[in-house]
């Protein structure tokens, strides 16, 4: 959420940013919120004058009563009553206007970084760099569910009967591999100095609206019926929420946390053949990382965070690339974001396995996450990044480590988490 003072003083910058994000429908909101803000400040000013005058008159009433000038005192008392009625009207008006202003301010997108490429959607994202040589083997690479089925490692039919489409049972070595990747990612991030955390898997609505836009909320979140609780779509939500309404001494920053959680998503609009199987699902598990830091440190952390994901995937022999997200592909709270995409030998293309984002002070403003520094209090910057998200990551792992005989090589870094196994041998 932007500072209303910034919007008031820089309306054209805010409008151009909206145009850059191809959200022209929101342009009228800028003038509307500025008008509401002017009206609100006028109401606040009048209310403050009335309070000051009331205090002054109260002193005069006492003086007049002591001097026996009862008639004059009663006239002033009548004025105080009239002013009190007007003050009550103004206070109600302030509350109403403040709510309208907040609603609009939470809809106006954050100012994107000047380095973000301008584009309408993810088709206009820009490749930054490749890591590892993508290989297409001479032998056929089956669809990922076929590879899993060769190890008796997945049951989609039973999951469909139990929960419907978008769910799965992972079994045997595939389930163990899934857990091994999560455990390895946890220890990998601990090795980078991050504090491990298992957060709440449900959060209240004020946290939801603090960490994401209304559009994201509608597309992603499952609400618990009859309660002010939502299932998390990623642990970033509850991890950033951990700092709600806090003031952290500057010397204690940065806060670097890595968290495990299941994730639940509606996945509205999911479609396409490559989204069969376990590519796009309603339930999955993830290892995440978040950073809360000083504004001047956020870009250093941004570059460190996406590089950690690249390093993790390369340690498992998976070629990846980084992709700069264009303006139209950025969620409203994000200043800048890049995706990490893994190579798919079967599809002969890359696909998303993680996303790193710098949100500036947008989440901090919504949630009241402040820092106490030498020159006073200010809002922190928040960042998040996917470490690894099986089972989608398993698609890249299985395809890139599949051997001609149908076995799957287990990279050295994962072997301790797989009981020393060096390969998975198919059952059929």
Q: Residues 68, 167: one domain?
A: no
Number of domains in the chain: 2
Domain-located, residue 262: yes
The mean-pLDDT minimum among 109-118, 156-165, 362-371 falls in 156-165
If asked whether residues 191 and 276 sit together in one domain, one would say yes
- Return the pLDDT at 273: 37
On whether both 133 and 228 belong to a single domain, the answer is yes
Picking from 64, 79, 105, the residue at the C-terminal end of a domain is 105
Residue 385 lies in a domain: yes
Q: Is residue 113 part of a domain?
A: no
- CA atoms of 335 and 246, how far apart (whole Å): 23
Mean pLDDT calculated for residue range 349-378: 96
Domain limit, last residue, from 105, 133, 164: 105
The residue behind tokens 């050295």 is 412
- Say whether both 274 and 300 belong to one domain: yes
Q: Per-residue pLDDT tens for 328-337?
A: 999 999 999 9
* pLDDT at residue number 62: 67
Verify that 88 and 229 share a domain, yes or no. no
Which pLDDT score is estimated for 274?
47
On whether residue 354 sits in a domain, the answer given is yes
In a domain, 369, yes or no: yes
Pair (57, 133) in one structural domain: no
289 and 247, same domain (yes or no) = yes
Whether residue 117 lies inside any domain: the answer is: no
Show Cβ contacts of residue 18 under 8 Å, excluding neighbours closer than 6 positions.
Answer: 24, 26, 27, 30, 108, 109
Asked if the model's pLDDT at residue 84 lies above 90, the reply is no
Asked if residue 252 and residue 345 are part of one domain, the reply reads yes
Q: Compute CA distances 54 → 82, 89, 90, 95, whole Å.
A: 10, 15, 15, 21
Of 93, 95, 108, 115, nearest to 3 by C-alpha is 108
Average pLDDT over residues 154-167: 92
Res. 166 pLDDT band, cuts 50 70 90: confident
Question: Which pTM does this prediction carry?
Answer: 0.90
Whole-number average pLDDT of the chain: 93
Q: Minimal CA–CA distance to 274: which of 347, 198, 348? A: 347
Residues 273, 420, single domain; the answer is yes
Closest CA to 210 of 330, 102, 354: 102
Q: Report pLDDT digits (tens) over 172-182.
A: 999 999 999 99
Last residue of a domain, one of 73, 105, 137: 105
How far apart are alpha carbons 393 and 403 in whole angstroms?
A: 18
Q: What is the pLDDT of residues 264-283, one digit of tens each?
A: 998 755 544 345 688 888 99
CATH at residue 160: 3.30.930.10
Q: How far apart are CA 258 and CA 192, in angstroms?
A: 10
296 and 393 housed in the same domain = yes
Q: Same domain for 305 and 361?
A: yes
Where residue 74 sits, what CATH number does that domain have?
Answer: 1.10.287.40
Both 55 and 188 in one domain: the answer is no
The 3-state DSSP class for residue 302 equals: helix
Whole domain around residue 90: which residue ranges? 4-105
Q: Which DSSP state fits 273? A: G
């Amino acid at each position: 959420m932007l500072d209303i003072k910034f919007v008031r003083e820089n309306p054209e910058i805010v409008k151009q940013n909206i145009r850059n994000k191809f959200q022209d429908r929101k342009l009228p909101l800028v003038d509307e919120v500025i008008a509401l803000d002017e009206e609100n400040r006028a109401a606040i000013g009048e209310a403050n004058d009335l309070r000051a005058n009331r205090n002054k008159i109260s002193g005069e009433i006492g003086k007049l009563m002591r001097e026996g000038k009862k008639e004059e005192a009663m006239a002033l008392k009548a004025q105080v009553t009239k002013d009190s009625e007007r003050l009550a009207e103004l206070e109600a008006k302030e509350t109403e206007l403040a709510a309208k202003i907040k609603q609009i301010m939470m809809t106006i997108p954050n100012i994107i970084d000047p380095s973000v490429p301008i584009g309408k959607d993810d088709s206009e994202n820009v490749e930054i760099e490749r890591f590892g040589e993508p290989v297409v083997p001479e032998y056929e690479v089956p669809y990922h569910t076929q590879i899993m089925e060769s190890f008796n490692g997945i049951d989609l039919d039973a999951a469909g009967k139990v929960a419907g489409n978008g769910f799965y049972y992972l079994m045997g070595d595939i389930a163990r591999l899934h857990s091994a990747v999560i455990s390895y990612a946890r220890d990998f991030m601990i090795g980078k100095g991050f504090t491990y955390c298992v957060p709440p898997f449900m959060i209240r609505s004020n946290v939801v609206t603090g960490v994401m836009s209304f559009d994201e909320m509608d597309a992603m979140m499952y609400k618990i019926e009859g309660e002010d609780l939502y299932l998390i779509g990623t642990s970033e939500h509850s991890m950033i929420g951990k700092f709600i309404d806090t003031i952290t001494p500057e010397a204690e920053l940065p806060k670097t946390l890595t968290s495990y959680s299941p994730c639940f998503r509606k996945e509205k609009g999911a479609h396409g053949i490559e989204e069969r199987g376990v590519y796009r699902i309603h339930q999955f598990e993830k290892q995440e990382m978040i950073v809360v830091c000083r504004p001047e440190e956020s870009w250093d952390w941004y570059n460190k965070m996406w590089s950690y994901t690249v390093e993790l995937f390369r340690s498992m022999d998976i070629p990846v690339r980084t992709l700069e997200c264009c303006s139209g592909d950025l969620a409203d709270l994000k200043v800048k974001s890049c995706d990490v995409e893994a190579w798919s030998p079967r599809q002969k293309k890359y696909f998303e396995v993680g996303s790193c984002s710098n949100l500036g002070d947008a989440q901090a403003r919504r949630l009241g996450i402040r820092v106490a520094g030498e020159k006073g209090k200010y809002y922190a910057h928040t960042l998040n990044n996917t470490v690894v998200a099986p089972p989608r990551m398993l698609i890249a792992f299985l395809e890139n480590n599949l051997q001609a005989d149908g076995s799957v090589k287990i990279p050295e870094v994962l072997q301790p988490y797989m009981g020393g196994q060096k390969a998975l041998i198919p059952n059929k």
